[in-house]
Amino acid sequence: GAVVSQHPSWVICKSGTSVKIECRSLDFQATTMFWYRQFPKQSLMLMATSNEGSKATYEQGVEKDKFLINHASLTLSTLTVTSAHPEDSSFYICSAKQGLRSQYFGPGTRLTVL
Amino acid sequence: AQSVTQLDSQVPVFEEAPVELRCNYSSSVSVYLFWYVQYPNQGLQLLLKYLSGSTLVESINGFEAEFNKSQTSFHLRKPSVHISDTAEYFCAVSDAAGGTSYGKLTFGQGTILTVHP
């Protein structure tokens, strides 16, 4: 099946710094990628939808200046958490979709902000 | 707007027993329905999906789910579970009507299935 990778799998950073998370579709081209956030014992919440070559569409309540998303190619999307704070600590998961087919999820990135 | 409710946060069962994981949704438009499974330290994997046609859908590893439009439910069942089925299961819904929201998934809170020997 289709494989989606994320890097890094976990990251610890200091408050005020920025962190970049990569999401790659390894064996297919993804026209659309989604970014989710999952807090402990809670469901996945969609943060934004990114389409290759265009600006991301953010869900209500998600700060686009804080969570920068770039979908520069059909196999790579990045999420940058700018000026991270402890409340941004969470599990970030991406998914990739090719056309009308199912979404394939990455393994997630655990971010801890100290 | 759509929402998904998984009625049980944890379901413990013994090996070879039947199991049902409940999922109810609400939506003002027609929907597609999904069940995903997440094993420890792994990403989500699609277990099965309902897009159209037969309301009973099956997975390759013995799970099945039935779309019940009148009860807005999509419960997941397996007649005999194995230790290896221990995982977290997520029910999800997406807008089938197309448009800008097409493909977006709304997830339930997840149900942790623990199969005991």
Two structure tokens written together for A72: 């520069």
Burial readout B5-17 (b: 16 or more C-beta within 10 A, e: otherwise): ebeeeebebeeee
Task: Name the DSSP letter for residue A59.
Answer: P
Among B44, B60, B88, pick the best mutation site for testing chain A contact (most A Cβ within 10 A): B44
Interface contact A4-B110, CB threshold 8 A: no
Ranges A102-106, B33-37, B46-50, B62-66: which has the least confidence: A102-106
Residue-wise pLDDT for A14-33, tens only, equals 999 999 999 999 988 888 89
Residue B27 has pLDDT above 70, yes or no: yes
Percent of chain B residues topping a pLDDT of 70: 93
Pairing of strands A44-51, B31-38: unpaired
Top-confidence residue, B102 or B23: B23
> Three-class SS of residue B85?
helix
Residue A1: predicted pLDDT: 67
Over 80: is that where the pLDDT of B93 sits? yes
Q: Which of residues 46-105 of A touch B (CB under 8 A)?
A: 46, 49, 57, 93, 95, 97, 102-105
Can you tell me the distance from the alpha carbon of A111 to that of A55, in angstroms, rounded to the nearest whole number?
A: 24
Minimal Cα–Cα distance from B106 to chain A, Å?
7
In this prediction, residue A101 carries a pLDDT of: 63
DSSP state of B96: S
% chain A with pLDDT above 90: 66
Q: Tell me how far CA of residue B103 lies from CA of A4, A30, A40, A107, B69, in angstroms.
A: 17, 13, 25, 19, 20
Query: For residue A34, is pLDDT > 60?
Result: yes
Q: Please write the tens of the pLDDT for every residue from B40-82.
A: 767 788 899 998 888 999 998 899 999 999 999 999 999 999 9
Per-residue pLDDT tens for B80-89?
A: 999 999 999 9
DSSP secondary structure letter of residue A65: T
Q: How many angstroms separate the CA of residue A4 from the nearest CA in chain B? A: 9
Q: What is the pLDDT of residues A72-92, one digit of tens each?
A: 888 999 999 999 999 999 999
> Chain B closest CA to A106's CA: distance in Å?
5
* Confidence at residue B83, expressed as pLDDT on a 0 to 100 scale: 96
Q: How far apart are CA A33 and CA A48, in angstroms?
A: 9
Q: Which of A85-99, B10-24, B38-52, B103-117 has the highest mean pLDDT?
A: B10-24
Q: If 0-12 CB within 10 Å is exposed, 13-18 middle and 19+ buried, where does residue A41 land? A: exposed
Q: Give whole-number Cα distances, B23 to A11, A14, B3, B84, in Å.
A: 33, 39, 11, 22
